[in-house]
Protein backbone atom coordinates (compact mmCIF):
# COMPACT_ATOMS: atom_id res chain seq x y z
CA UNK A 1 0.00 0.00 0.00
CA UNK A 2 1.38 3.36 -1.00
CA UNK A 3 0.26 6.60 0.50
CA UNK A 4 0.99 10.20 -0.29
CA UNK A 5 0.15 13.31 1.66
CA UNK A 6 -1.82 15.80 -0.38
CA UNK A 7 -2.57 18.39 2.31
CA UNK A 8 -0.51 19.12 5.38
CA UNK A 9 -1.56 20.83 8.58
CA UNK A 10 -1.02 24.35 7.19
CA UNK A 11 -2.89 23.53 3.98
CA UNK A 12 -5.85 22.29 6.01
CA UNK A 13 -5.85 25.40 8.18
CA UNK A 14 -5.80 27.66 5.12
CA UNK A 15 -8.59 25.67 3.45
CA UNK A 16 -10.82 25.90 6.51
CA UNK A 17 -10.21 29.61 6.82
CA UNK A 18 -11.06 30.13 3.17
CA UNK A 19 -14.26 28.09 3.49
CA UNK A 20 -15.30 30.11 6.54
CA UNK A 21 -14.82 33.36 4.68
CA UNK A 22 -16.63 32.10 1.62
CA UNK A 23 -19.58 31.10 3.79
CA UNK A 24 -19.74 34.55 5.33
CA UNK A 25 -19.43 36.15 1.93
CA UNK A 26 -22.11 34.07 0.24
CA UNK A 27 -24.48 34.47 3.19
CA UNK A 28 -23.87 38.20 3.32
CA UNK A 29 -22.92 37.88 6.95
CA UNK A 30 -24.06 35.65 9.76
CA UNK A 31 -27.79 36.24 9.65
CA UNK A 32 -29.81 33.01 10.00
CA UNK A 33 -26.66 30.97 9.59
CA UNK A 34 -26.49 27.46 11.05
CA UNK A 35 -23.41 25.24 10.77
CA UNK A 36 -24.00 21.48 11.16
CA UNK A 37 -21.16 18.98 11.18
CA UNK A 38 -21.62 15.46 9.93
CA UNK A 39 -19.92 12.94 12.25
CA UNK A 40 -17.24 12.12 12.76
CA UNK A 41 -14.71 14.51 11.20
CA UNK A 42 -17.29 16.88 9.80
CA UNK A 43 -18.13 17.81 13.39
CA UNK A 44 -14.55 18.90 14.09
CA UNK A 45 -14.36 20.83 10.83
CA UNK A 46 -17.68 22.54 11.60
CA UNK A 47 -16.34 23.58 15.00
CA UNK A 48 -13.27 25.12 13.39
CA UNK A 49 -15.27 26.92 10.73
CA UNK A 50 -17.65 28.21 13.38
CA UNK A 51 -14.76 29.45 15.46
CA UNK A 52 -13.44 31.49 12.53
CA UNK A 53 -16.88 32.83 11.74
CA UNK A 54 -17.37 33.71 15.38
CA UNK A 55 -14.11 35.70 15.33
CA UNK A 56 -14.98 37.48 12.10
CA UNK A 57 -18.70 37.71 12.08
CA UNK A 58 -20.76 40.39 13.68
CA UNK A 59 -23.78 39.88 15.91
CA UNK A 60 -23.37 36.13 15.79
CA UNK A 61 -25.99 34.19 17.79
CA UNK A 62 -24.32 32.14 20.49
CA UNK A 63 -26.04 28.97 19.34
CA UNK A 64 -25.47 28.44 15.65
CA UNK A 65 -23.30 25.32 15.65
CA UNK A 66 -24.58 21.79 15.78
CA UNK A 67 -24.14 18.26 14.53
CA UNK A 68 -26.39 15.95 12.65
CA UNK A 69 -26.06 12.21 12.60
CA UNK A 70 -27.00 10.62 9.32
CA UNK A 71 -26.53 6.95 10.19
CA UNK A 72 -30.20 6.16 10.48
CA UNK A 73 -30.81 7.67 7.03
CA UNK A 74 -28.11 5.72 5.24
CA UNK A 75 -29.14 3.57 2.30
CA UNK A 76 -26.59 0.84 2.99
CA UNK A 77 -27.49 -0.19 6.56
CA UNK A 78 -28.63 -3.63 5.61
CA UNK A 79 -25.38 -4.28 3.76
CA UNK A 80 -23.12 -3.96 6.76
CA UNK A 81 -22.94 -4.87 10.43
CA UNK A 82 -24.91 -2.62 12.75
CA UNK A 83 -23.47 0.90 12.65
CA UNK A 84 -22.90 3.09 15.66
CA UNK A 85 -25.13 6.15 15.88
CA UNK A 86 -23.73 9.52 16.99
CA UNK A 87 -25.65 12.18 18.85
CA UNK A 88 -27.49 14.88 16.97
CA UNK A 89 -27.50 18.43 18.39
CA UNK A 90 -29.54 21.08 16.71
CA UNK A 91 -29.18 24.72 17.85
CA UNK A 92 -32.02 25.71 20.13
CA UNK A 93 -33.68 28.00 17.59
CA UNK A 94 -34.15 25.13 15.19
CA UNK A 95 -33.44 25.21 11.47
CA UNK A 96 -36.71 26.46 10.06
CA UNK A 97 -36.09 29.27 7.55
CA UNK A 98 -32.40 29.24 8.35
CA UNK A 99 -29.47 28.76 6.01
CA UNK A 100 -27.92 25.48 7.02
CA UNK A 101 -24.36 24.71 6.02
CA UNK A 102 -23.58 21.03 6.22
CA UNK A 103 -19.92 20.28 6.83
CA UNK A 104 -18.15 17.03 6.01
CA UNK A 105 -14.58 16.00 5.45
CA UNK A 106 -14.70 14.23 2.07
CA UNK A 107 -17.27 14.45 -0.70
CA UNK A 108 -17.23 11.20 -2.65
CA UNK A 109 -20.35 9.36 -3.89
CA UNK A 110 -22.75 11.95 -2.46
CA UNK A 111 -24.72 9.33 -0.54
CA UNK A 112 -23.76 10.71 2.86
CA UNK A 113 -25.00 14.14 1.83
CA UNK A 114 -28.20 12.65 0.50
CA UNK A 115 -28.73 11.01 3.90
CA UNK A 116 -27.96 14.31 5.64
CA UNK A 117 -30.55 16.12 3.52
CA UNK A 118 -33.11 13.48 4.52
CA UNK A 119 -32.14 13.84 8.16
CA UNK A 120 -32.60 17.59 7.93
CA UNK A 121 -36.09 17.03 6.60
CA UNK A 122 -37.14 15.34 9.83
CA UNK A 123 -35.90 18.30 11.84
CA UNK A 124 -37.31 21.24 9.96
CA UNK A 125 -37.46 23.22 6.76
CA UNK A 126 -34.40 25.42 6.16
CA UNK A 127 -34.56 28.30 3.74
CA UNK A 128 -31.48 26.92 2.03
CA UNK A 129 -28.98 24.13 2.56
CA UNK A 130 -25.33 24.54 1.57
CA UNK A 131 -22.54 22.02 1.60
CA UNK A 132 -18.94 22.61 2.72
CA UNK A 133 -16.28 19.91 2.38
CA UNK A 134 -12.59 19.85 3.02
CA UNK A 135 -11.92 17.58 0.04
CA UNK A 136 -13.93 16.82 -3.09
CA UNK A 137 -12.50 13.67 -4.59
CA UNK A 138 -15.04 13.21 -7.41
CA UNK A 139 -16.84 9.97 -8.44
CA UNK A 140 -20.33 11.18 -7.56
CA UNK A 141 -23.17 8.66 -7.74
CA UNK A 142 -25.88 11.24 -7.07
CA UNK A 143 -26.52 14.71 -8.49
CA UNK A 144 -24.91 16.54 -5.59
CA UNK A 145 -22.20 19.20 -5.55
CA UNK A 146 -20.46 21.19 -2.84
CA UNK A 147 -20.83 24.93 -2.42
CA UNK A 148 -17.57 25.37 -0.52
CA UNK A 149 -14.59 23.14 -1.26
CA UNK A 150 -11.23 23.20 0.50
CA UNK A 151 -9.46 21.20 -2.18
CA UNK A 152 -10.55 19.45 -5.35
CA UNK A 153 -8.64 16.22 -5.46
CA UNK A 154 -8.60 14.07 -8.60
CA UNK A 155 -8.47 10.43 -7.46
CA UNK A 156 -8.86 6.98 -8.85
CA UNK A 157 -12.01 5.23 -7.69
CA UNK A 158 -10.18 2.53 -5.78
CA UNK A 159 -8.01 4.97 -3.86
CA UNK A 160 -8.75 5.84 -0.27
CA UNK A 161 -8.76 9.42 0.93
CA UNK A 162 -8.18 9.81 4.63
CA UNK A 163 -8.58 13.05 6.50
CA UNK A 164 -6.65 13.11 9.75
CA UNK A 165 -7.48 15.81 12.29
CA UNK A 166 -5.52 16.40 15.45
CA UNK A 167 -8.62 16.44 17.69
CA UNK A 168 -9.41 12.88 16.66
CA UNK A 169 -6.34 11.36 15.06
CA UNK A 170 -3.51 13.11 16.86
CA UNK A 171 -2.03 14.43 13.64
CA UNK A 172 -3.26 16.56 10.81
CA UNK A 173 -3.11 15.75 7.09
CA UNK A 174 -5.03 14.50 4.09
CA UNK A 175 -3.61 11.29 2.69
CA UNK A 176 -4.35 9.28 -0.43
CA UNK A 177 -3.75 5.58 -0.08
CA UNK A 178 -3.70 2.98 -2.78
Partner 1 sequence: MKHLLSTSELSREDAIHLLDLSDQMAEVNTREVKKLPTLRGKTVVNLFYEDSTRTKTSFELAAKRLSADLINFSAKGSSVSKGESLKDTALTLAAGGADAFVIRHSASGAAHTLANSGWINVAVVNAGDGTHEHPTQGLLDAMTMRRRIHGLGATAQRDLSGVSVLIVGDILHSRVARSNIHLLKLLGAKVTLVGPSTLMPHTELFEVDVNLDFDDALAANPDVVMMLRIQTERMSGNFFPSEREYVRNWGLTAERFARLKPKTLIMHPGPMIRGLEICSEAADSPQSTIVEQVANGISVRMAVLYSLISGERSLDV
Residues making contact with partner 1 (CB under 8 A): 69, 72-73, 77-89, 118, 121-124
* Three-state secondary structure call for residue 36: strand
Q: 174: which strand partners?
A: 7, 163
List b or e across 50-75, with b for residues whose CB sees 16 or more CB atoms inside 10 angstroms.
bebbeeebeebeeebbbbbbbbebbe
CB of 143 to partner 1, least distance (A): 20
CB of 39 to partner 1, least distance (A): 11
CB of 111 to partner 1, least distance (A): 13
Taking a C-beta distance cutoff of 8 angstroms, is the pair 75, 112 a contact?
A: no
CB of 84 to partner 1, least distance (A): 8
Report the residue number, 27 or 89, with the smaller CB distance to partner 1: 89
Report the residue number, 59 or 78, with the smaller CB distance to partner 1: 78
Sign of CA dihedral 52, 57, 59, 61: negative
Report the residue number, 51 or 75, with the smaller CB distance to partner 1: 75
Amino acid sequence: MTSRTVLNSDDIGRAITRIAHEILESNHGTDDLIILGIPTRGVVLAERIAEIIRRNGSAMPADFLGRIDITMHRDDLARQPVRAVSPTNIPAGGIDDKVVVLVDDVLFTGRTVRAALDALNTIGRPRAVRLAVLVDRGHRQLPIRADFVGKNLPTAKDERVSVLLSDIDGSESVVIEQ
